[in-house]
A and B are shown apart, each in its own frame.
Chain A
Amino acid sequence: DAKTTQPTSMDCAEGRAANLPCNHSTISGNEYVYWYRQIHSQGPQYIIHGLKNNETNEMASLIITEDRKSSTLILPHATLRDTAVYYCIAFNSGGSNYKLTFGKGTLLTVNP
């Protein structure tokens, strides 16, 4: 799976949009971009994934650049409960090596 690069930490004001970037310049054509988050002392939680088109669900939006070398996870109205470590993962769900590998992620702190 392709390596991803994320900032170590970010801050966001409550009620504002949180935009979390991820670089995956070596992503291959059949690798999806997955986002998870981990709130302190809890297990990781799946947020969203996409291949090439932008995706939106009840939790977030995922914007993938046309060349697929980077993406942005958008939390449209961040709340204090969104404070967590956010992981961006490039993953080939159709491959034979089924390993979802978590990096260090981005610690998002939502401030009041």
Chain B
Amino acid sequence: DAGVIQSPRHEVTEMGQEVTLRCKPISGHNSLFWYRQTMMRGLELLIYFNNNVPIDDSGMPEDRFSAKMPNASFSTLKIQPSEPRDSAVYFCASSLLELGELFFGEGSRLTVL
């Protein structure tokens, strides 16, 4: 299996622009997670889905952030409008059932100027 695939790996954008991050989970996994990592705050869970349904989005920082999972093989995290403080590495992870063994992608490094 190719593992969790994220794109883009790197994104540099200007403040106010829309950013869309994409994730393809491991085939057969039914839970998907979006994390954000910064030096100051470490790894934070933003949202997780189970069977394509958002279960907990309490970690989403504000209305500028939205996440969707239209099917079992694809999810997006969108930031609109983006701000410099959104600069971080965003990780997607998937797991089988609601277990603690998560498989992480390589991350998308976002820089907002």
Contacts and interface: CB of A to CB of B under 8 A. Distances in A.
Interface of A: 32, 34, 36, 41-46, 49, 89, 91, 93, 97-104
B52 to A, nearest CB: 15
Interface of B: 4, 31, 33, 35, 42-43, 45, 48, 50, 55-56, 91, 93, 98-107
Contacts, number: 50
Nearest to A101: B45
A49 B42 contact: no
Nearest to A105: B42
A100 B42 contact: no
A100 B107 contact: no
Given A43-B93, A44-B91, A93-B98, A102 B103 contact: no
B56 to A, nearest CB: 7
A41 B10 CA distance: 12
Given A89-B100, A91-B100, 13 more contacts: A34-B100, A41-B107, A42-B106, A43-B107, A44-B43, A44-B102, A93-B99, A97-B56, A98-B31, A98-B56, A99-B45, A100-B45, A101-B45
